[in-house]
Amino acid sequence: MNVRKTNNYKGNILVVDDTPQNLRLLVSILQKQGYEVRPVPNGKLALSGARGFLPDLILLDIMMPEMDGYEVCSQLKADARTKNIPIIFISAIDELVDKVKAFEVGGVDYITKPFQVEEVLARVETHLALQRLQKSLQNKNDELTKANQYLQKSNQDLVDTLQQLQSTQEELIQSKKMAALGHLLAGIAHEINNPVSFIYGNIHIARGYFKDLLRLVELYEQIYPHPTLEIQQLADEMDLDFLVKDWQKLMNSMQVGAERICEIVHSLQSFSRRDEAGIRAMDIHAEIDNTLLLLQHRLRAEGTRLEIQVIKDYGQLPLVTCYASQLNQVFMNLLSNAIDALDNKTSPRIITISTSLSQPSKITSDKETEPISNSQFVVIRVADNGLGMDEAVKNQIFDPFFTTKGVGNGTGLGLSISYQIVVEKHLGQISCISTPGQGTEFIVEIPVHLVANLVKQ
Ligand SMILES: Nc1ncnc2c1ncn2[C@@H]1O[C@H](COP(=O)(O)OP(=O)(O)OP(=O)(O)O)[C@@H](O)[C@H]1O
Ligand SMILES: [Mg+2]
């Protein structure tokens, strides 16, 4: 604060004494030692002098008319700007003064007149040195506090960056995984689509041709009711009546099979529309059915494994405006998890999917400032009667990379990505109820109309 400081600066001292001889004596002693000295003859001037320019130390006479040294000291100590200036009291040995009071009002030391030069200098120097030490300690302390704050901030920045990195990495992995899967599925769908179209498209033509041939045979039979032995033998050999009946069945099952392949191809194509990242109107039930179709191989009975029964309890739902391909990903994750949870179960293996429409129960807390007014929610529940989870597992399921499945079986990303999609992208909710040994239910709530500008891209 002191602007006059130079290299050989020793200190600025305010000397307050109403006796001119004393004042002159003190000034000359101190000036000889190289101090800057400001003499003032009374309390009032002492106060204004100290406040106008902060001294490093004050020598203060106690007995003065109008305002005594105690009063001056009290006022200086009461002022935040001047309270840290060390004050040394001076008073004559024969004056009836209270030394204890001098310390009580905030003095740091006490000198009795007549004084010895050496004593004055020693006390002044000691207190200046103490003052300097205190200041430098304070500065160091301030610096440390600042450094600490800076460190804390850097630390927080690092934590934030790390979190951001992790979540970007997850998104990258997941979108890479989904993109690769999407490409593969799209490729397979495309490859199957053409040949299956040949089969499907030609079945009714084949039926037509067969009918024509049959008509021809029947006409022959009418016109030539007595065929030659050779023809009769061939007809018996091929069991013409059976052939005609079986041909119909054969065609029917080929048609059902081909239709089924077409459906699967259709599901694959709809599932693989990953790059179509935009918002569109989605028929939730149709998309869930598509996802189930893709998981068919894991649902049906195989070897000793029992079939998984899928119970659908679909309510009346409107089309939902959403990031459709992302919601498909959520259905896929929830259904795959439910199937995994039923893996080692013997008795009835059941997945129940129910949907309904509701008013929002609660709105996502961090978006409270921008509520989605009057919005309806679709509620999708996926329940399994599988192995369930205990509290410890349940508390971590939405954490990225948390998995209880062995290496190579789970990445632990399914639910964390689903959480992001539902909560962050769609401002919805995802929660879970589970009882160990009994099963798990996931509840997803999605607003019917996604307000695009509220959505974090
Ligand atoms: N329906 C459920 N029943 C029991 N536990 C479940 C169920 N769904 C999820 N979990 C538990 O939550 C964990 C995390 O699930 P998440 O889908 O995030 O990862 P994952 O299935 O292990 O791996 P992946 O990335 O392949 O999906 C699972 O490992 C499992 O312990
Ligand atoms: Mg999973």
Q: Which atom of ligand 1 is nearest to the CA of 402?
A: 14
Residue 373, pLDDT > 50, answer no
Q: Is residue 207 part of a domain?
A: yes
Q: Are residues 321 and 427 in the same domain?
A: yes
Structure token pair of residue 267: 């599901």
Number of domains observed in the structure of the chain: 3
Note the pLDDT tens digit of each residue in 374-431. Answer: 578 999 999 999 999 999 999 999 987 789 998 767 778 789 888 988 998 899 999 9
Structure token pair of residue 151: 């460190």
CATH number at residue 390: 3.30.565.10
Q: Is residue 321 part of a domain?
A: yes
Q: Is residue 1 part of a domain?
A: no
Q: How far is the CA of 13 from the centre of ligand 2 (A)?
A: 77
Total H helices, total E strands in the chain: 12, 12
Q: Report the pLDDT averaged over residues 332-348.
A: 92
Q: Are residues 413 and 441 in the same domain?
A: yes
- Is the C-beta atom of 393 inside 6 A of ligand 1? yes
Q: Are residues 437 and 450 in the same domain?
A: yes
Q: Is residue 349 part of a domain?
A: yes
Q: Are residues 291 and 245 in the same domain?
A: no
188's CB contacts (< 8 A; 6+ apart) are 268
Q: Are residues 283 and 257 in the same domain?
A: no
Q: How far is the CA of 400 from the centre of ligand 1 (A)?
A: 11
Tell me the residue range of the domain where 21 lies: 12-115
CA nearest to 49, candidates 39, 62, 36: 39
Q: Are residues 87 and 154 in the same domain?
A: no
Q: Which atom of ligand 1 is nearest to the CA of 341?
A: 3
Note the pLDDT tens digit of each residue in 263-317. Answer: 778 767 766 654 456 788 899 999 999 899 889 889 998 888 899 999 999 999 9
Give the number of whichever ligand sits closest to the CA of residue 385.
1
Give the number of whichever ligand sits closest to the CA of residue 398.
1
pLDDT at 297: 86
Q: Which atom of ligand 1 is nearest to the CA of 384?
A: 1
Q: Report the pLDDT averaged over residues 113-121.
A: 89
- Is the C-beta atom of 197 inside 6 A of ligand 1? no
pLDDT at 145: 95
Q: Is the dihedral of CA 430, 435, 441, 443 positive or negative?
A: negative
Q: Is residue 19 part of a domain?
A: yes
Q: Is residue 353 part of a domain?
A: yes
Structure token pair of residue 95: 């004056």
- Is the C-beta atom of 210 inside 6 A of ligand 1? no
Q: Is residue 185 part of a domain?
A: yes
Q: Are residues 291 and 424 in the same domain?
A: yes
Note the pLDDT tens digit of each residue in 171-182. Answer: 777 777 777 777
pLDDT at 2: 47
Q: Are residues 253 and 347 in the same domain?
A: no
To 10 degrees, the CA torsion angle through 387, 390, 396, 397? 20
Q: Report the pLDDT averaged over residues 1-8.
A: 56
Note the pLDDT tens digit of each residue in 65-82. Answer: 889 999 999 999 999 999
